[in-house]
Amino acid sequence: MKIITVLSCLCVLSTSFASYANDAPFAIAIHGGAGTIQQSSFTPEKEQAYRLKLKEAVDAGYVVLEKGGTSLDAVAQAINVLENSPFFNAGIGAVYTHNEQHEMDASIMDGNTMKAGAVAGVKHIKNPIDLARLVMDKSVHVMLYGEGAEEFALTQGVALVANETFDTPHRYESLQHAKEKMLKSQSENKDYIASHNELEVEYKVGTVGAVALDKQGNISSGTSTGGMTNKRYGRIGDSPIIGAGTYAENGVCAVSATGHGEYFIRYHVAGDICARVKYQNKSIIQAADEVINQRLITAGGTGGVIAIDHRGNIATPFNTDGMYRATRKSGEEAQVMIWRDK
């Protein structure tokens, strides 16, 4: 008799837990980079194609969350869609280095466990975000770079691909323009730093990322990038740096950044936003706006972030012309935006 009572109690408990979990809010936001995204350079067909790809990415993550999957899986799935598209500066479509190669950075963070994984300067990994996840799950480290990261990939059964896999004609053209502009500045007696500083923002930005809240209340974030056009000397940006380009902490916030990485590293952008939420009780909307539209602007740093909190509130501030982005909350349709108001 007692056993039956206990069993039926357990049954009621598990049913109510399951229905609680099923009704729990969930949400996802993604970005495909911030920068000089001029409306005039978009044909209606091109704009439509970008919007469809952003929707595909946010929906891919949403489906994972809807089925009760983890925010980590949702983030990785959404980022995979963007990495596999030539439209964005990550995976296929990554920008070219000075030596006409592609060197990619990525990171992922689990707000539930505070675990994180990152890779930097990888050249032969089709989906760098997946390798970052493996670093988190299957290594004793947080960040691996270059050949070592690829050696680790092999131990995990990840196949290496040719660097040419990531080639696209539009990024190659962009590299040639960046080189010409820098040579012109140098012929006017400007040094490397001055001529690099003169390069327009479009050569310094472009990245993909995602943040998500799952039905279990866990938040995560991830970021993947080809970095900066014409980069040299093994330059690594903010995207693989926890606290700069990516951060997640349950009950606080999860952030993925896109922008001029040197500023995002020095201003500790993702960590700063979450610190404002945690220690100053600010909403993510206010905290993210303060960092992107006040602190970074004063410093001269361009870019934006996507941020989410444990209630599913989402902030997407940017201080550039546009930021490719999409959001979707439980029970709602996807919202896809490129410019400030559409």
Name the residues annotated as catalytic.
207
Nearer to ligand ASP among residue 65 and residue 129 (C-beta): 129
Burial class (CB in 10 A: 0-12, 13-18, 19+), 136: buried
Only one of the segments 46-54, 76-84, 202-210, 310-318 lies at the binding site for ligand ASP (rule: CB under 6 A); that segment is 202-210
Only one of the segments 120-128, 156-164, 255-263, 275-283 lies at the binding site for ligand ASP (rule: CB under 6 A); that segment is 255-263
Closest distance to ligand ASP from the beta carbon of 198 (Å): 17
Q: Which H or E element spans position 308?
A: strand 303-308
Binding of ligand ASP by 93 (CB under 6 A): no
Of 328, 334, 335, 325, the C-alpha closest to 312 is 328
Of 96, 92, 97, the C-alpha closest to 125 is 92
Binding of ligand ASP by 90 (CB under 6 A): no
Binding of ligand ASP by 69 (CB under 6 A): no
Closest distance to ligand ASP from the beta carbon of 196 (Å): 13
Q: Which of 93, 111, 206, 217 binds ligand ASP (CB under 6 A)?
A: 206
Only one of the segments 44-52, 61-69, 222-230, 247-255 lies at the binding site for ligand ASP (rule: CB under 6 A); that segment is 222-230
Longest dimension (CA), the chain: 92
| Under 8 Å between Cβ of 101 and 163 | yes
Q: Which of 33, 69, 111, 117 binds ligand ASP (CB under 6 A)?
A: 33
Binding of ligand ASP by 80 (CB under 6 A): no
3-state helix/strand/coil string of 183-232: HHHHHCCCCHHHHHHHCCHHHCCCCEEEEEECCCCCEEEEEEECCCCCCC
Binding of ligand ASP by 207 (CB under 6 A): yes
DSSP state of 201: G
Q: Which of 153, 228, 273, 275 binds ligand ASP (CB under 6 A)?
A: 228
Q: Which of 225, 229, 320, 327 binds ligand ASP (CB under 6 A)?
A: 225
Q: Which of 237, 243, 312, 322 binds ligand ASP (CB under 6 A)?
A: 237
The span from the CA of 95 to the CA of 72, in Å, is: 26
The span from the CA of 324 to the CA of 161, in Å, is: 27
- Per CB under 6 A, residues contacting ligand ASP are 33, 205-207, 225, 227-228, 237-239, 245, 258-259, 261, 264
